[in-house]
Amino acid sequence: MAHSAPLDRIRVGSAPDSWGVWFPDDPQQVPWERFLDEVSGAGYDWIELGPYGYLPTDPARLSEEVARRNLKVSAGTVFTGMHRGPAVWEETWAHVGQVAALTQAMGARHLVVIPSFWRDDKTAEILEPPELTAEQWAHLTKGMERLGHEVKETYGLDIVVHPHADTHIDTERHVERFLDSTDSELVNLCLDTGHYAYCGGDSVKLIETYGERIGYLHLKQVDPDILAEVVVQGVPFGPAVQRGVMCEPPSGVPELGPVLAAAQKLGVDLFAIVEQDMYPCEPDKPLPIAVRTRRFLRSCGA
């Protein structure tokens, strides 16, 4: 696929997620040393921290391990339930502060913020209604703005909110409502192409419509056939991943070439971090996929 211009504004990386890592500590996951060795071996320069506590949390130790493999950190990730209102601020800030401090120490500039799930990822138990009330929407948007402000003031990081399946920021309607209700100086988006497609959204359209709000990208694809089954059967996200709903590019949707081309046109530097959800997975499965995915992204000009 030929591009008129190379994607010189896009910095590609990968994350522990592409190695089947969802938890700080889990016997089904590859050890962190192996993840670092393999992500570097697959040809990536940039990584995310993954779940806090998976990689070493001592900044000196982590800096040494990462530098030794010619890697750099693009972001940390936090989980939040801001729609629950000011009562959750203290516990949220304790978690955010821990991750933000390590992210800052690693020289990264972004903090990926994932909203809390309305149904249990493992058991499918409905924890809260999928639709927020007007009051909860106000809590969510004001809470994210406060978080963006505090993270910037305290740690010098930009927050990028990650629309995610089975959360209150998922579909096109919810994502647009969230963006329209928040200040771009304080809150921007981590557009995850796979999650957005999973929830029925069009990534290229979102980039073209809300370009100034796209602060970060996660690259992944969904298998349309498995997705159709998942939607009809009302399968929650965790079990859907085990069915293989998130698939290896370029076999799924959306096409990543046009997404990257649209992102390049924004004229700003963007990280595009590959995340292929596959928890749990065999330890030997991720590396060959990562190598092929890196090769595919090079063929797109990245």
Q: Does domain 10-299 have CATH number 3.40.190.80?
A: no
Beta carbons within 8 Å of 198's beta carbon, 6+ residues apart: 165, 222, 227, 237, 240, 245
Q: For position 6, what pLDDT does the model report? A: 86
54 within 8 A of 102, measured Cβ to Cβ: no
Q: For position 201, what pLDDT does the model report? A: 98
Q: For position 249, what pLDDT does the model report? A: 97
pLDDT tens across the length of the chain (302 residues): 554 568 999 999 999 999 999 999 999 999 999 999 999 999 999 999 999 999 999 999 999 999 999 999 999 999 999 999 999 999 999 999 999 999 999 999 999 999 999 998 878 899 999 999 999 999 999 999 999 999 999 999 999 999 999 999 999 999 999 999 999 999 999 999 999 999 999 999 999 999 999 999 999 999 999 999 999 999 999 999 999 999 999 999 999 999 999 999 999 999 999 999 999 999 999 999 999 999 999 999 99
The domain limits of the chain are 10-299
Q: For position 2, what pLDDT does the model report? A: 52
CA distances for 115 relative to 82, 140, 276, 288, angstroms = 8, 9, 19, 31
Which tokens sit at 248?
Answer: 């290896």
Which residue is associated with the tokens 């939040």?
80
Handedness of CA 165, 169, 171, 175 (dihedral sign): negative
Q: For position 122, what pLDDT does the model report? A: 76
pTM strictly above 0.85: yes
Q: For position 5, what pLDDT does the model report? A: 66
3-state SS record for the chain:
CCCCCCCCCEEEEECHHHHCCCCCCCCCCCCHHHHHHHHHHCCCCEEECCCCCCCCCCHHHHHHHHHHCCCEEEEEEEEECHHHCHHHHHHHHHHHHHHHHHHHHCCCCEEEEEECECECCCCCCECCCCCCCHHHHHHHHHHHHHHHHHHHHHHCCEEEECCCCCECCCCHHHHHHHHHCCCCCCCEEEEEHHHHHHCCCCHHHHHHHCHHHEEEEEECEECHHHHHHHHHHCCCHHHHHHCCCEECCCCCECCHHHHHHHHHCCCCCEEEEECCCCCCCCCCCHHHHHHHHHHHHHHCCC
